[in-house]
């Protein structure tokens, strides 16, 4: 019998969980409680893709080779620099008789657990991907464990759109759980940021974006009560730009260095959700201590019960949110 959390798939080092492993066994043979998915598309974590693109000067073939090399070496997509991965969509090929996930062969699914802990093998060398966007068409297989989480893709949404939403579906669910009167979202024009704003409908919302193009798009959407162009890394300038401190600040920026600005933009007794894999949690903890900031800081756990259904529901009910997501996908495809 295998482990429900995938310990039997760890090749090195011994005794760690799959996410912490250097290498996983991506063999296609499924255990009694495992599921094998034929992979159609990967969605790389935004921070991971940004790092890879920067490291390779935006050279598509070099980025593609780097991602293929990581998968081949590690048996999973786990960026060794950022520590992040992403998620995938595909079709269930085989489900073990004891799998508790309720998936059947032929189901088209999105995995709601990180690629950093998902055994993965690709067959085509990512040949159909130009390396110039976060979504990666590919042919391969992935293995889900008994404790994995996956969602059957909705039939009324194009797969690329559903994948983009489900990749960050933990963000709006976590915002809903900690909703407050004044909500500040950093990186508000991105995937998780726009969903966070949608979850905070009816409250006073302030969205921080990086340039005038993003400001125009977010203002047109009507998702934010106020839109501010500011550098989310500027610990002095950001609080001044947004005005009154927030009760809840949500960090959705895919670059490092936003911790101190977010803390200073939040009122004493308020809450900061760091929903970004670019966050330095030591910088956040030690920075709050050094600033004598009485704020509750939360790691943006990508899992909240019901998160997939909630995020898809927001997308269906908010036409402007759908337009933002489709525009972002179109930009990445250019």
What integer pLDDT is reported at residue 135 of this predicted model? 92
What integer pLDDT is reported at residue 1 of this predicted model? 58
Consecutive 10-residue averages of pLDDT for the chain (334 residues): 91 96 98 97 93 97 98 98 94 97 97 96 97 95 96 90 91 97 97 97 97 96 97 97 98 94 98 93 96 96 92 94 88 62
Instruction: Please tell me whether residues 71 and 177 are part of one structural domain.
Output: no
Within-domain flag for 163: no
Helix axes 191-199, 307-317, angle to 10 degrees: 80
Within-domain flag for 161: no
Token couple for 316: 């269906």
Instruction: Please tell me whether residues 15 and 137 are part of one structural domain.
Output: yes
pTM above 0.75, yes or no: yes
What integer pLDDT is reported at residue 277 of this predicted model? 85
Do residues 119 and 163 lie in contact, with contact meaning Cβ atoms separated by under 8 Å?
A: no
Do residues 263 and 250 lie in contact, with contact meaning Cβ atoms separated by under 8 Å?
A: no
Within-domain flag for 213: yes
Of 92, 120, 153, the position where a domain reaches its end is: 153
What integer pLDDT is reported at residue 328 of this predicted model? 82
Instruction: Please tell me whether residues 180 and 329 are part of one structural domain.
Output: yes
Within-domain flag for 282: yes
What integer pLDDT is reported at residue 260 of this predicted model? 97
Do residues 199 and 173 lie in contact, with contact meaning Cβ atoms separated by under 8 Å?
A: yes
Instruction: Please tell me whether residues 116 and 235 are part of one structural domain.
Output: no
Of 153, 188, 211, the position where a domain reaches its end is: 153
Within-domain flag for 329: yes
Helix (H) or strand (E) holding 53: helix 46-55
Cα 10 to Cα 25: distance, rounded to the nearest angstrom: 6
What integer pLDDT is reported at residue 333 of this predicted model? 59
Within-domain flag for 281: yes
Within-domain flag for 33: yes
Instruction: Please tell me whether residues 145 and 179 are part of one structural domain.
Output: no
CATH number at residue 175: 3.90.180.10
Cα 323 to Cα 329: distance, rounded to the nearest angstrom: 10
What integer pLDDT is reported at residue 2 of this predicted model? 81
Q: Show the domain range for 16.
A: 7-153
Instruction: Please tell me whether residues 139 and 194 are part of one structural domain.
Output: no
Instruction: Please tell me whether residues 319 and 174 are part of one structural domain.
Output: yes
Neighbours of 173 (CB within 10 A): 23
Residues near 53 by beta carbon (within 8 Å), at least 6 away in sequence: 63
Burial label, 185 (beta-carbon count in 10 A; 0-12, 13-18, 19+): buried
Within-domain flag for 240: yes
Instruction: Please tell me whether residues 270 and 297 are part of one structural domain.
Output: yes
Count of structural domains within the chain:
2
What integer pLDDT is reported at residue 301 of this predicted model? 84
Of 153, 187, 216, the position where a domain reaches its end is: 153
């Amino acid at each position: 019998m295998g482990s429900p959390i995938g310990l039997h798939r760890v090749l090195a080092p011994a005794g760690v969980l799959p996410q912490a492993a250097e290498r996983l066994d991506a063999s296609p043979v499924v255990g009694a409680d495992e599921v094998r998915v034929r992979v159609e598309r990967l969605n790389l974590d935004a921070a991971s893709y940004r790092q890879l693109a920067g490291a390779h000067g935006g050279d598509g073939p070099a980025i593609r080779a780097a991602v293929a090399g990581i998968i081949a070496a590690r048996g999973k997509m786990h960026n060794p620099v950022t520590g992040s991965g992403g998620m995938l969509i595909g079709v269930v090929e085989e489900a073990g008789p004891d799998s508790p996930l309720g998936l059947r062969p032929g189901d088209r699914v999105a995995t709601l657990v990180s690629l950093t802990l998902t055994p993965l093998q690709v067959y085509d060398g990512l040949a159909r991907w130009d390396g110039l966007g976060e979504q990666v068409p590919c042919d391969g297989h992935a293995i889900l464990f008994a404790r994995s989480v996956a969602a059957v893709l909705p039939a009324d949404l194009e797969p690329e759109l559903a994948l983009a939403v489900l990749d960050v579906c933990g963000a709006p669910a976590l915002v809903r759980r900690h909703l407050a009167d004044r909500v500040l979202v950093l990186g508000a024009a991105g995937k998780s940021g726009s969903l966070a704003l949608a979850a905070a409908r009816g409250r006073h919302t302030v969205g921080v974006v990086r340039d005038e193009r993003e400001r125009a798009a977010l203002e047109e959407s009507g998702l934010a009560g106020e839109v501010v162009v500011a550098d989310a890394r500027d610990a002095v300038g950001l609080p001044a730009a947004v005005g009154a401190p927030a009760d809840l600040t949500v960090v959705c920026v895919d670059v490092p260095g936003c911790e101190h600005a977010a803390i200073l933009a939040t009122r004493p007794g308020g809450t900061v959700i760091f929903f970004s894999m670019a966050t330095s949690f030591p910088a956040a903890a030690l920075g709050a201590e050094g600033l004598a900031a009485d704020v509750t800081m939360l790691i943006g756990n990508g899992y909240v019960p019901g998160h997939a259904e909630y995020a898809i529901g927001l997308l269906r009910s908010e036409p402007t949110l759908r337009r933002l997501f489709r525009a972002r996908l179109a930009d990445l495809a250019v």
